[in-house]
Structure formats: structure tokens, C-alpha cells
């Protein structure tokens, strides 16, 4: 569909394919029209459009009444918190916190009272929504250990019963490789009996097994890069390699909503960090321009290098990075790109090779491709892929290679088998089928939820689906109601999200069948009516009951 | 009645105001008028930037952007860099190890109790693999807590005789996440010079004030504590909220000796400092039952605030744990970065660790002692399982020393003893230890093998150093 505003290819009138406006801005007259059309024309002239496919991302505004009520809710909770603290201090109520030893009572207190205010008074009330213990493989259906609390979540006791067959919408099992039977598990069992579970040494000393070399060659082939290196923990991959790449005198431009591991890695490196607005390319371009033109803050020396840190899929928002634009900017301003594909590897793209595959770009344009094996491959660990010089440098200077134990062999085998399966090299079409199943599940699920009237954040193609709850009480209520109906969901609140934007987050999987999704949707609908969660003011026309057809564009809105 | 009175009162105030207006002097009215106009102007004027930065035109900016050349992302690494070419181990890194195609006796892996190849451990891991698959697909907070994890935490807490334990999925991340959870900006940490790299990274992440004291030198530590005390007296208010910690290791990885824990406890109570103890090497090795340095010295474990260890040495698994009182450990469940933001430990590794712990409890191992070698000095306590062999005197620069030691290592590898040099990141370490060969003594090695290793090293040293 040709957009009547700027003449470029868009799927909806509101979200431009050239990615200039992300939120629905009601007051378009505030932007000079010539600027938009000029930029769009540039995109069409230079590469025939940077985006080869429609990019649909939406973050509906919080309704005013809901925002006010949410603040009121937090206000009431805070007041009650102060009241309870007062009662605990004056011994009217029993204090159930663990306390300091008698012998150490005159030491400086380990925790500030205020630090724990949120913990004691807000988190403690709904603590049962998190840390739920399970006792089966974390596949599409999972068994959970039942636990009860007789003192309002201060302590839990296990009844010994097991709640069986809960539909699991919380585990990061995008391609369904979390299985206890099958080719992957058998291969891992063989390697376990041959090699044992541990390694007891670091990569640079005696811990480099032939299995690790095999894995790294395979991962490099899978990603389409020259070479790759694997590490034992995804979090540590970021926090230990970013300091090896950049140091003092370098600049890091990091997205607002980057993961804690990226933030920690950036901090430990000692470089200057500047933050650009989430997925906002104008903000990034402005920072790049300012950085090159003005140099380092006081000395005005030029920066040694500039590194842009972005993620493939942002797990709390469900948004996908605008990779074609980031790469165009990176090339124009001669900076380096570090792409963290923790959630997007395996989950996006027609052949499951991540966000680069999804946009149809060249993997060599991304300088450092990082990802984890925990989500789509059903194992644990992380990897970095890139040019041979980069990997050679990391082999020598990465903190993890010199000081941390290498990966466990059965875990390595699981990754090797699952990567071969996705690539189709094991002789079956299971991998391809799973990637397609995930894409279909994603589109179907998101579509149905939007039809029901919930506010869903993020991109149409992202398998991470955040459903907005907003009010603090609804966080606990949603989790508990869904568990009563045998569906396990993940709810998140402050501080992982802004204070009024708490949400429930669904992670779809290729292992979910249509029946499971329908059951889940039915229950979500019920709970949504019960808790009044259908805040959306834009209603979509419900899809007629016909088989899912990729070639059909979605109907336009009102 | 009251309303009428109020109405009358209001009217009366209004009349007064109008009267005052007429009676005011002219200059007063003009001044007021100017002030009101000024306020209106300020309300409607645009905000301005404090620093009018660029006098640069658009063209100049574009030229600057054109001209700027960044450094390459990574500098090239010379092909013969000692750390670039890894040894390739085919098959399991057990007592007999195949390195680069040659079969050798393993003196380089931290498999202290020989549990890497233990059949019971492997079958426990297999059972867990059949039940749970490989990965956990989530962090602990979101359906990543398995009953195996809870069981392992309970067993570890029971074994170490503490209230609670918490597991991490990566050994390095254990202490590197534990320290910043408690020590924040403005707090003071006294740490030994020879602390391992993971501790250094934890301290860097915590942004606290770091004070290094000389290795195992209690007098130096006391001096620093006294200095801090006199600082505190100058500013008692700040002192009341500044937390203090001492971070030491049970058995130091870089020097192979133990810390004087009883004196540290005395200093703790005298100066009111908390102690964090890192027991990666001493867990499973020191003490009658392998409980570490507290058992070795017979100290009450509650005197140590936090004990952190990794399960990658004695327990031959992957991951790490912290144990201590609930008051301290529970805090990490919400503020330990490596715990909250990372996937949990794969269940098969947790099951392997539980089985290894059971075996360790039942059979405390015995230690062999390494003998003296001429030409190289043995650094480390006699009962330490991980020793260093350093050159008696340096041959000029560090590079030369490293090359020499490499030749010694190669000689030994060719003759069937697998050794490795201790690897460090030279630019990143705070106090870089001298180059050395790492020798690991395990329970699986026999007397003859130790003798053979010692004589081979003697030969190698003689041939290379002369």
C-alpha cells in the first residue's frame, strides 16, 4: 500500500515503512511535512527502500484514567507500607524478616531500611507469582510443585502435590528444543557418558575440548560469519567481552532498554556511555553526529571508536530493532555495531538465523554478533560471532577465556544437535517446520489478543508478547487466576518495567499446538473480563474463521 | 446567616482592595505593572540552552564527520601469541588425557577429587537428563527453578552447616555478583593483593573504595583499618552508614597459600568489619570433611558473613554457590545480577553436583605432597592442590620468562605429562603474578606418577635453563 503522506511503502497509514514515526502521533502538523517526505524520498532513491518487508510496531498510549488509578493504587500501597513498618517498629506486629546476629548488632547495618521498603511491603504481597518451582521438562506443558503460604507469602511450604500439565507460556522455549526425548537428548546422553559433566579448567589452559572447536565452527557456519567463540553463560558473554573490546576513550551508544548484562559490560569497560531513546533512529543519529563533531567531553580529542549496543528483540517490550537503519547509520558514521540476539536467534527469520535473516541483510555488516543458547536451543551459554581478527582477539584477551571454566560437554552436544536440526543438516525438516510453526503461532496469538481488546506492545512478528496490566493489584491477580486455570504466565512489575507499566509477558513456542493456544486464549479472555484488562481503544475487525494465509495482508483499522 | 455574613465580609474586602488601588502612589503602580509584564514575558519565551555549543556551520560538521577515522575494532594479534593457540583435548579431561593427539597424565585440570569421571555422578546426571532435558529455558524467577536446584541448595547449606545457600550457573559470576549486591558506592572494601580476577571484577562493578593490603600481611591490614578508624572519628555521621568488608580467599589461586583466618576474625570484631570468604580452591580440600578453611581452623561458620565457592573444582560440575545466614543470602535473590538476569543452572549439572557432594561427604580424600625441583621454585603450601612453579630468577623480561616456561611445558608434554602455564590477562590484573607453571595434585595420581613428573620437570628445567 502506498502511503498518501510521504509516498513510500507502508502497510498502515500510521506506521511508516521508512521507520520515521513509531508512535501514533495525533498532531502531525507539528512535524514539517517537507522533512518527512524528503527523508522518505531519500530512502526510496538510495536502496529502493531499506525495509524489504513491512515493519509493524505499536505501543498504544496508556489511557489517562488507568494511569491515574495506577498511581492511586501505588499511593495506597505506600501508605499502608508505612503503617505496617510503624507497627513493626513498635512491636505491635511481629517482624518476620531475618535479622542480624546478636554479636554483630553494633556493626554498620548491611541494608538501608528504605532500600527494602519496596521489597517488604509491595513485592512480598505478590511474591508467589515468581520463583515457581517446576519438576518436569520446561516444554509446552509443565508440572509445577504446589506451594502454599500461611503467613501471607513470608514463608512457603510445599504440600507435596504436583500440579500437572500447566500450559507453559513463560519459559523461553521458542523452537521447542526443551525436550526429554529425541535426537538432541540422545546425543547429549552419549556425550555425557563419554566426557562427564564438568571440565575443570579454563579455555586457555586445559579446558579446550575438541567438542568446543566443533561447536564454534558450526555456529560460525550457522550465522554466516567467518568465525565464532562460545562461552558458558550468556550474561557473562556480555559482561566479560565488552570490556575487552572497548576501554577508556571510546564511546558506547546504548539503547534505553538494554539488558542488565549489556549495561554491566558497558560500565565495566570504562568507556563513556550515552543512551539513545528506545529504537529511535533520530536520537541515535543525533548522538552520533554530536559525538564525532564535538569529540570527547572536555579535551575535545576525537573518540577512539564508537560502539552501538542494540538487542535483536527487547524482551520486556517485544520490539524488534530497526536493523536496516542502524546499519545504514553505522556505515555513514564509521562506528561499530554490537548486536545482542539473545531472544531473536532461532526465533526470527525464515530460516531461523535471527534478526539479520529476518530483514534479509548481510551478516558481515554487523561487527559483533552476540547471542545466547539458552532460549531457542534449549541449552545454556552464549556466543560471539564475527570476523576472524575479532575472534582471535577475543580468544586471547577475553576475560572468560582466561579465567572462567569452559562449557560442559553435554550442553555443547545439545547445541550442536539443535543447530544442525534448524539448519536441516540432520536430514529432517523438523527445524524448518518449527521455525514456521513459531511464526504462525506468533501471528495468530497476537492477532487474537488484539481482537479481544487488550493492549499488546511490540512488533507483529516478535514471539515475546507483553500484555499490559498497569495496576499493581492486577499483577498478582492475573498470575494467580491464570494458575487456577492451569496456565503458567510470567508477570513483571517495577523495577524491571517503568512503575505504571507492569505487564504480563507471554513467550510463544513452536511446541504450542493450536489447541493449546486456543485454550490459553479462552482463559485469558475470561480473566481479562474478570479483571477488566481490556483497555484498548482500537478494536480490530475479527479475522473470519479461515485457514491462515500468509499472502493476505491484514485488514486496515477503522 | 453565616453565608450572608461571609458575603458581606467578602464584599468588604473587595471594597478595601479597590480603595487601596486608588490610594497607592504612582511609582508603586508602575513598578508592579512592569513586574507583571516581565513575568508574562518569561512565561512565554522559549527556553534556551545553557551552553551555546557550536559555532560550526553544517558544512564544517559534515567535513569533520568525513575526516574522522576510528581505530580498528580490534588490534591484530600476532600469530605466535602464547594465549592464541589452545591445546586441543580429545575426549574427557580425566586422569589420562589426550592433548594435541598425545596421551598424557593430567597435571593441569582442577579435578582434585577425581569426580569428573565418576560413574555414579554420570548416572545421576543421566537420570536428570532423561527427566528434564538439558536447558532450563528461563531465569530462576520465571519457571527456571527446578526441584533439583532447591535440593542442591538445601544439601549445600546442610553440608556447610549454614542456614541457606544460593546457586549460580557460572563459577566466575558467583563472587562477581555477590560483592556488588552488598557493597555499593561509598562503602569500603579491604582486599588482599593476590585476590583472583573474579573478585577484582566484582569490586569494580560495586564502585566501592578499594584498599589493597599486602598478601597475607595482617599488620598491613591492621594499619589500614586504624587509618580508616581515625578517618571515621573525623566524620562520625558518614561512618555510621559506610559499610566495611574484607574480602579474602581460603586458598589463593595465584599463590597457593591460605589466609590466616583466626587473626582475621579477631580484626573483624575489633574494627567491626564484615568478612567475605572465597573458597573456590579450598572447598572439598581443606578440613576433615572438606568443608573448607573454617573446618580446617575450627572456626564457627557463623563468624564468616558470606562464603562463596565454585563447584567447578572439587565437585567437577559447573556453577557456583554462596552460603551463609538467611539474613545475608536472601538479599542476593533479588539483587544478585548473575542470579536474577541469567538462566538457571542446567538440571543435569545440578544433579551431578548433588551426587558429587554425597560422595565427597562419605569419602574425604587424602592429599599427596609434591617434591622439590631444582631450577624451579615450588610456590604454595604443602597441602595445597594447586601449586605454581616459578623460575628461581627472572631471565630479563616477562616475555622471555613466558617463552622459557613454554619450552619446559612442551618438553613435559612430549614426554607424557600434561601441564599448562597459568594464564593471566596482563593488562587487566591489578597485581600481576609472575609467570609460572600450574601444577595440580589430585587424588587419582599415584606416588610413581608424582615421582615421574618431578623427575621430568627436573630434566626439562636442566635442559632448557642451561
Quick: pLDDT tens for B53-70: 557 788 888 888 888 889
ipTM at complex level: 0.86
What separation, in Å, do the N-terminal and C-terminal C-alpha atoms of chain A show? Answer: 16
Instruction: Look up the pTM and report it.
Output: 0.87
Residue B394 pLDDT > 60 = yes
Write out pLDDT tens, residues A258-299.
999 999 999 999 999 999 999 999 999 999 999 998 888 888
Residue A514 pLDDT > 80 = yes
Distances (CA, A) of B235 to A64, B221, B238, B241, B361: 49, 21, 6, 11, 49
A480 is written with which cell numbers?
A: 494467580
Share of chain A above pLDDT 90, in %: 64
**Closest CA relative to residue A281, chosen from A34, A548, A55, A545:** A55
CB spacing of B88 vs A199 below 8 angstroms? no
**Closest CA relative to residue B129, chosen from A446, A503, A378:** A378
CB spacing of B318 vs A201 below 8 angstroms? no
Mean pLDDT of chain A: 85
Quote the pLDDT of residue B366. Answer: 60
Q: Which of B91, B205, B244 sits opposite A268 (nearest CB)?
A: B205
CA separation for the pair A256, B56 (Å, rounded): 29
Q: Would you tell me how many other CB atoms lie within 10 Å of the CB of residue B396?
A: 8
**Closest CA relative to residue A259, chosen from A243, A237, A284:** A237
Helix, strand or coil for residue B56?
coil
* pLDDT interval class at B7 (50, 70, 90): low
Q: B residues 332-351 near A, CB within 8 Å? A: 333-334, 337-338, 340-343, 345-346, 348-349
Residue B140 is classified by DSSP as T
> Dihedral angle at the C-alpha atoms of B249, B253, B258, B261, nearest 10 degrees?
0
CB spacing of A138 vs B87 below 8 angstroms? no
Q: Would you tell me how many other CB atoms lie within 10 Å of the CB of residue B325?
A: 20
CA A399 to chain centre: 25
CA separation for the pair B349, B136 (Å, rounded): 11
Q: Which of B129, B132, B312 sits opposite A410 (nearest CB)?
A: B129
Share of chain A above pLDDT 70, in %: 88
Write out pLDDT tens, residues A163-220.
999 999 999 999 999 888 888 899 999 999 999 898 989 999 888 999 999 999 999 9
Quote the pLDDT of residue A28. Answer: 40
Write out pLDDT tens, residues B145-158.
999 999 999 999 99
CB spacing of B110 vs A201 below 8 angstroms? yes
Average pLDDT rounded to a whole number, residues B194-202: 93
CA separation for the pair A500, A68 (Å, rounded): 9
Q: B residues 177-216 near A, CB within 8 Å? A: 182, 196-198, 201, 204-205
Asked if A150 and A486 count as a contact pair (C-beta separation under 8 A), the reply is no
CB spacing of A333 vs B346 below 8 angstroms? no
Write out pLDDT tens, residues A387-421.
999 999 999 999 999 999 999 999 999 999 999 99
Chain A residues with beta carbon closer than 8 angstroms to that of B274: 104, 107, 110
Does B434 or A549 have the greater pLDDT score? B434
B353 is written with which cell numbers?
A: 553436583
**B166 vs chain A: nearest CA distance in angstroms?**
13
Quote the pLDDT of residue B22. Answer: 79
Q: Which of A101, A137, A395 sits opposite B132 (nearest CB)?
A: A137
CB spacing of A133 vs B146 below 8 angstroms? yes
Chain A residues with beta carbon closer than 8 angstroms to that of B87: 205-206, 208
CB spacing of B142 vs A178 below 8 angstroms? no
Average pLDDT rounded to a whole number, residues A227-235: 94
| Helix or strand holding residue B4 (H, E) | helix B2-23
Chain A contact present for B276, CB below 8 A: no
CA separation for the pair A433, A439 (Å, rounded): 10
Quote the pLDDT of residue A541. Answer: 58
Chain B residues with beta carbon closer than 8 angstroms to that of A407: 318
Chain A residues with beta carbon closer than 8 angstroms to that of B96: none
Residue B237 pLDDT > 70 = yes
CB spacing of A396 vs B81 below 8 angstroms? yes
- Cβ contacts of B372 within 8 Å, gap of 6 or more: B378
Weakest-pLDDT range from A16-25, A80-89, A211-220, B306-315: A16-25
- Indicate the angle between helix axes B326-335 and B171-182, nearest 10 degrees: 100
CA A261 to chain centre: 12
CB spacing of B70 vs A334 below 8 angstroms? yes
Chain B residues with beta carbon closer than 8 angstroms to that of A101: 302, 325, 327
Weakest-pLDDT range from A507-516, B5-14, B76-85: B5-14
- Cβ contacts of A545 within 8 Å, gap of 6 or more: none
**A417 vs chain B: nearest CA distance in angstroms?**
12
- Cβ contacts of B219 within 8 Å, gap of 6 or more: none
Average pLDDT rounded to a whole number, residues B326-352: 92
* pLDDT interval class at A13 (50, 70, 90): very low
* pLDDT interval class at B85 (50, 70, 90): confident
CB spacing of B137 vs A375 below 8 angstroms? yes
Quote the pLDDT of residue B9. Answer: 62
Mean pLDDT of chain B: 88
Quote the pLDDT of residue B10. Answer: 65
Chain A contact present for B101, CB below 8 A: no
Asked if A163 and B161 count as a contact pair (C-beta separation under 8 A), the reply is no
CB spacing of B116 vs A134 below 8 angstroms? no
Write out pLDDT tens, residues B153-190.
999 999 999 999 999 999 999 999 999 999 999 999 99
Residue A349 pLDDT > 70 = yes
CB spacing of B142 vs A490 below 8 angstroms? yes
Chain A contact present for B126, CB below 8 A: yes
* pLDDT interval class at B132 (50, 70, 90): very high
Write out pLDDT tens, residues B251-302.
999 998 889 999 999 999 999 999 999 998 989 888 888 888 999 999 999 9
Chain B residues with beta carbon closer than 8 angstroms to that of A206: 87, 89, 93, 97, 99, 106, 108-109, 418, 420
Amino acid at each position: 500500500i502506498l502511503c498518501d503522506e510521504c509516498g513510500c511503502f507502508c502497510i498502515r497509514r500510521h506506521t511508516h515503512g521508512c521507520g520515521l514515526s513509531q508512535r501514533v502521533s495525533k498532531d502531525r502538523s507539528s512535524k514539517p511535512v517537507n522533512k518527512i517526505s524528503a527523508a522518505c524520498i531519500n530512502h526510496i532513491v538510495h536502496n529502493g527502500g531499506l525495509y524489504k518487508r513491512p515493519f509493524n510496531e505499536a505501543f498504544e498510549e496508556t489511557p489517562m484514567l488507568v494511569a491515574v488509578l495506577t498511581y492511586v493504587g501505588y499511593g495506597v500501597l505506600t501508605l499502608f507500607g508505612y503503617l505496617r513498618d510503624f507497627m513493626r517498629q513498635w512491636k505491635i506486629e511481629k517482624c518476620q524478616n531475618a535479622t542480624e546476629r546478636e554479636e554483630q548488632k553494633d556493626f554498620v547495618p548491611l541494608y538501608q531500611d528504605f532500600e527494602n521498603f519496596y521489597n517488604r511491603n509491595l513485592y512480598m504481597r505478590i511474591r508467589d507469582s515468581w520463583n515457581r518451582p517446576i519438576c518436569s521438562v520446561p516444554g509446552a506443558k509443565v508440572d509445577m510443585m504446589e506451594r502454599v503460604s500461611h503467613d501471607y507469602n513470608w514463608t512457603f511450604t510445599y504440600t507435596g502435590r504436583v500440579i500437572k500439565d500447566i500450559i507453559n507460556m513463560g519459559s523461553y522455549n521458542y523452537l521447542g528444543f526443551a525436550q526429554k526425548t529425541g535426537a538432541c537428548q540422545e546425543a547429549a546422553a552419549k556425550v555425557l557418558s563419554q566426557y562427564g559433566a564438568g571440565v575443570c579448567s579454563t579455555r586457555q589452559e586445559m579446558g579446550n575440548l575438541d567438542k568446543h572447536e566443533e561447536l564454534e565452527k558450526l555456529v560460525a557456519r550457522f550465522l554466516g560469519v567467518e568465525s565464532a567463540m562460545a562461552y558458558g553463560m550468556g550474561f557473562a558473554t556480555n559482561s566479560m567481552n565488552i570490556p575487552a573490546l572497548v576501554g577508556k576513550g571510546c564511546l558506547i551508544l546504548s539503547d534505553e532498554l538494554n539488558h542488565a548484562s549489556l549495561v554491566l559490560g558497558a560500565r565495566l569497560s570504562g568507556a563513556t556511555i550515552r543512551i539513545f531513546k528506545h529504537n529511535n533512529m533520530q536520537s541515535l543519529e543525533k548522538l552520533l553526529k554530536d559525538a564525532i563533531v564535538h569529540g570527547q567531553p572536555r579535551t575535545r580529542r576525537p573518540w577512539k571508536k564508537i560502539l552501538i549496543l542494540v538487542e535483536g528483540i527487547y524482551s520486556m517490550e517485544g520490539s524488534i530493532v530497526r536493523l536496516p537503519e542502524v546499519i545504514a547509520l553505522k556505515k555513514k558514521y564509521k562506528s561499530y555495531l554490537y548486536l545482542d540476539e539473545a531472544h531473536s536467534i532461532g526465533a526470527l527469520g525464515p530460516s531461523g538465523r535471527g534478526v539479520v535473516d529476518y530483514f534479509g541483510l548481510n551478516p558481515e555488516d554487523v561487527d559483533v554478533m552476540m547471542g545466547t543458547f539458552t532460549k531457542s536451543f534449549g541449552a545454556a551459554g552464549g556466543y560471539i560471532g564475527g570476523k576472524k581478527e575479532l575472534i582471535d582477539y577475543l580468544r586471547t584477551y577475553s576475560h572468560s577465556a582466561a579465567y572462567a571454566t569452559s562449557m560442559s560437554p553435554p550442553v555443547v552436544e545439545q547445541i550442536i544437535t539443535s543447530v544442525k536440526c534448524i539448519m536441516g543438516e540432520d536430514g529432517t525438516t523438523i527445524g524448518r517446520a518449527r521455525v514456521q510453526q513459531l511464526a504462525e503461532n506468533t501471528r495468530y496469538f497476537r492477532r487474537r489478543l488484539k481482537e479481544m481488546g487488550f493492549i499488546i506492545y511490540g512488533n507483529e512478528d516478535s514471539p515475546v508478547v507483553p500484555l499490559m496490566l498497569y495496576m499493581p493489584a492486577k499483577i498478582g491477580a492475573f498470575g494467580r487466576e491464570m494458575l487456577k486455570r492451569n496456565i503458567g504466565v510470567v508477570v513483571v512489575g517495577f523495577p524491571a518495567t517503568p512503575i505504571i507499566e507492569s505487564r504480563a509477558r507471554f513467550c510463544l513456542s513452536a511446541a504450542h499446538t493450536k489447541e493449546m493456544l486456543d485454550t490459553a486464549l479462552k482463559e485469558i479472555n475470561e480473566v481479562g473480563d474478570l479483571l477488566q484488562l481490556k483497555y484498548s481503544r482500537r478494536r480490530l475487525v475479527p479475522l473470519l474463521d479461515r485457514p491462515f494465509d500468509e499472502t493476505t495482508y491484514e485488514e486496515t483499522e477503522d | 446567616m453565616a453565608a450572608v455574613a461571609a458575603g458581606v465580609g467578602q464584599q468588604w474586602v473587595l471594597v478595601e482592595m479597590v480603595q487601596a488601588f486608588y490610594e497607592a502612589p504612582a511609582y508603586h503602580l508602575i513598578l508592579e505593572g512592569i513586574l507583571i509584564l516581565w513575568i508574562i514575558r518569561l512565561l512565554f519565551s522559549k527556553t534556551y540552552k545553557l551552553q551555546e555549543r557550536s559555532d560550526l556551520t553544517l558544512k564544517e560538521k559534515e567535513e569533520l564527520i568525513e575526516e574522522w577515522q576510528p581505530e580498528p575494532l580490534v588490534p591484530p594479534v600476532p600469530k605466535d601469541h602464547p594465549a592464541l593457540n589452545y591445546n586441543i583435548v580429545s575426549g574427557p579431561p580425566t586422569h589420562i588425557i589426550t592433548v594435541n593427539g598425545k596421551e598424557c597424565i593430567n597435571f593441569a585440570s582442577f579435578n582434585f577429587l577425581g569426580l569428573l569421571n565418576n560413574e555414579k555422578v554420570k548416572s545421576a546426571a543421566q537420570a536428570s537428563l532423561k527427566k528434564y532435558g538439558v536447558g532450563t529455558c528461563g531465569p530462576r524467577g520465571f519457571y527456571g527453578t527446578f526441584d533439583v536446584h532447591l535440593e542442591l541448595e538445601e544439601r549445600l547449606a546442610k553440608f556447610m552447616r549454614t542456614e541457606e545457600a544460593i546457586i549460580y550457573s557460572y563459577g566466575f559470576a558467583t563472587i562477581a555478583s555477590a560483592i556488588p549486591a552488598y557493597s555499593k558506592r561509598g562503602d569500603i572494601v579491604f582486599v588482599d593483593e593476590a585476590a583472583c580476577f573474579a573478585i577484582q571484577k566484582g569490586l569494580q562493578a560495586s564502585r566501592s573504595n578499594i584498599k589493597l593490603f599486602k598478601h597475607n600481611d595482617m599488620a598491613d591490614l591492621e594499619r589500614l583499618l586504624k587509618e580508616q578508624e581515625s578517618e571515621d572519628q573525623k566524620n562520625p555521621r558518614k561512618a555510621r552508614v559506610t559499610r566495611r568488608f574484607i574480602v579474602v580467599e581460603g586458598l589463593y589461586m595465584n599463590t597457593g597459600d591460605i589466609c590466616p583466618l583466626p587473626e582475621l576474625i579477631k580484626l573483624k570484631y575489633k574494627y567491626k568489619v564484615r568478612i567475605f570468604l572465597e573458597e573456590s580452591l579450598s572447598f572439598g580440600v581443606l578440613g576433615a570433611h572438606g568443608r573448607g578453611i573454617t573446618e580446617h581452623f575450627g572456626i564457627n561458620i557463623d563468624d564468616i558473613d558470606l562464603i562463596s565457592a565454585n563447584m567447578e573444582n572439587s565437585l567437577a560440575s559447573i556453577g557456583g554457590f554462596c552460603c551463609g545466614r538467611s539474613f545475608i543470602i536472601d538479599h542476593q535473590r533479588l539483587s544478585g545480577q548473575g542470579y536474577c538476569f541469567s538462566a538457571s543452572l542446567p538440571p543435569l549439572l545440578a544433579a551431578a553436583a548433588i551426587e558429587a557432594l554425597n560422595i565427597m561427604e562419605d569419602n574425604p580424600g587424602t592429599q599427596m605432597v609434591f617434591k622439590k625441583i631444582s631450577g624451579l621454585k615450588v610456590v604454595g603450601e604443602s597441602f595445597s592442590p594447586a601449586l605454581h612453579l616459578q623460575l628461581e630468577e627472572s631471565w630479563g623480561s616477562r616475555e622471555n620468562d613466558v617463552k622459557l616456561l613454554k619450552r619446559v611445558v612442551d618438553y613435559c608434554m612430549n614426554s607424557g605429562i600434561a601441564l599448562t602455564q597459568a594464564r593471566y590477562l596482563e593488562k587487566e590484573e591489578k597485581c600481576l603474578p609472575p609467570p609460572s607453571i600450574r601444577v595440580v595434585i589430585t587424588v587419582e595420581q599415584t606416588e610413581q606418577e608424582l615421582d615421574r613428573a618431578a623427575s621430568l620437570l627436573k630434566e626439562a628445567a636442566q635442559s632448557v635453563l642451561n
